[in-house]
Amino acid sequence: MKPKLALLLAVIFLSAVFSLCVAPGLSQAGQIKLSYANFPPAPTFPCVQMERWKTEVEKRTNGKVLVNTFPGGTLLDAKNMMDGVIAGTADIGCLSMAYQPGRFMVTNATALPFGFPNATVASLVLWDLYKKYMPDEFAKVKVITMFASAPGNIYAKVPVKNLEDLKGLQLRASGGVADLVKALGGTAVGMPQSETPEALQKGVVKGAVSSLETLMDFKYAELCKYVTIINGPIYPFAVVMNMAKWKSLPKDVQKVMDDMGTEQAEWTGKYMDGHVDKSLEWSKKNHGIEITELSEEESANWNKLLEPITGKWIEDAKAKGLPAEQIVKDIKALNKKYAGK
Ligand code: DTR
């Protein structure tokens, strides 16, 4: 064999051996890979918090854990998130409890009209509530963290300045927010956030009630020029991990994740609150949205209509054997505690 050819063959052989044995060893020896599914598009806040968690976990475990993220419903979508994680289709998943209000009764109590001032406070309240009650509906998974959207407000293709404007108006809303729309005389159309852009485009709904960062992140401000500030209910979210996967993790990795629960809830709330402000600026500047603040009198009328909602939830929750009044009391007390900080 010619020396040049022999050298070439040796190089090919050695690089094959390196890539088969050594290279994977460098990046993968003992490395734990976790898949993390999310339902809305990558730039939206549930996915931004997912990327932040991924980065922090990878850093704090010194690369022992690698998290592969799947935004935009590419692995699991909004409605099969919980069951998909239980089944192990994804190791981790982020879900909005409002899309299955009967299933997540305790944590969805945070979507009653409590008047949370912002997402940071609501997220900390939700996380504490979960830790106190550890509700059965999460028994099959490990809960990594919880967080909330900012308070929901109305945005629509038509102005909503009073209850008359709201009568029969089709607004996209789920869970506790849907109860609010119904109580005010509007027509609530339930669907995940990820299906809302098409529904607005096609005119299936005339607007929606959700946190206002969506005006920018989903470009709703292009279609919905009218915003009515009601400081309505939040949407609660949970990040859950397949239980068998959790149990298979080394103790030091579990500790990193457990230590991040509260921090991640607060980080997400703060990110969300800052993002709402940016979104409003962007929407005013680029799409000339009109913002309506209700008069005190109008506001009082609206609030009266909302009063029965909590009573009805208490009845339903009691029928399911839950300490409903105590849960409501706890949420109010926690709201005070964190809002006062
Ligand atoms: N579950 C929610 C809350 C929400 C607010 N912003 C976003 C962005 C992406 C997904 C969900 C959300 C809702 O359905 O409105």
Work out how many domains the chain is built from and give that number: 2
Q: E strand or H helix at 229, and its extent?
A: strand 226-229
Chosen domain end from 221, 243, 274: 274
Instruction: Assess whether 160 and 36 both reside in one domain.
Output: no
CB-CB contact of 239 with 260 (8 Å): no
Which CATH number characterizes residue 259's domain?
3.40.190.170
Instruction: Assess whether 87 and 130 both reside in one domain.
Output: yes
The reported pLDDT for the residue numbered 1 is 52
The reported pLDDT for the residue numbered 250 is 98
CB-CB contact of 28 with 202 (8 Å): no
Ligand 1 midpoint to CA 100 (Å): 14
Query: Is the whole model's pTM more than 0.85, yes or no?
Result: yes
Range of the domain at 61: 30-149+235-274
Alpha-carbon gap, residue 14 to 162, rounded angstroms: 76
Ligand 1 midpoint to CA 255 (Å): 29
Nearest CA to ligand 1 atom 14: 193
Residues 6+ apart with CB under 8 A from 24: none
Instruction: Assess whether 333 and 260 both reside in one domain.
Output: no
Chosen domain end from 274, 295, 329: 274
The reported pLDDT for the residue numbered 175 is 86
Instruction: Assess whether 269 and 292 both reside in one domain.
Output: no
The reported pLDDT for the residue numbered 10 is 54
Tokens, residue 261: 């629960």
Is residue 72 a part of any domain in this protein? yes
Residues 6+ apart with CB under 8 A from 92: 34, 35, 36, 37, 67, 85, 144, 239, 240, 241, 242
The reported pLDDT for the residue numbered 171 is 98
pLDDT along the chain (341 residues), means of 10: 53 48 50 98 98 98 98 96 98 95 94 96 98 98 98 97 97 92 97 94 97 97 97 96 98 98 98 98 98 93 94 96 98 97 77
Alpha-carbon gap, residue 88 to 245, rounded angstroms: 8
CB-CB contact of 171 with 181 (8 Å): yes
Nearest CA to ligand 1 atom 3: 235
Chosen domain end from 225, 251, 274: 274
The strand pairing partners of 171, in sequence order, are: 188, 207
Alpha-carbon gap, residue 225 to 327, rounded angstroms: 37
Choose which residue among 107, 126, 191, 211 to substitute to test ligand 1 binding: the one with the highest number of ligand atoms within 8 A of its C-beta. Answer: 211
Is residue 206 a part of any domain in this protein? yes
Is residue 184 a part of any domain in this protein? yes
Question: Which atom, in ligand 1's list, is nearest to the CA of 211?
Answer: 5
Instruction: Assess whether 196 and 327 both reside in one domain.
Output: yes
β-pairing, 226-229 vs 153-156, is antiparallel
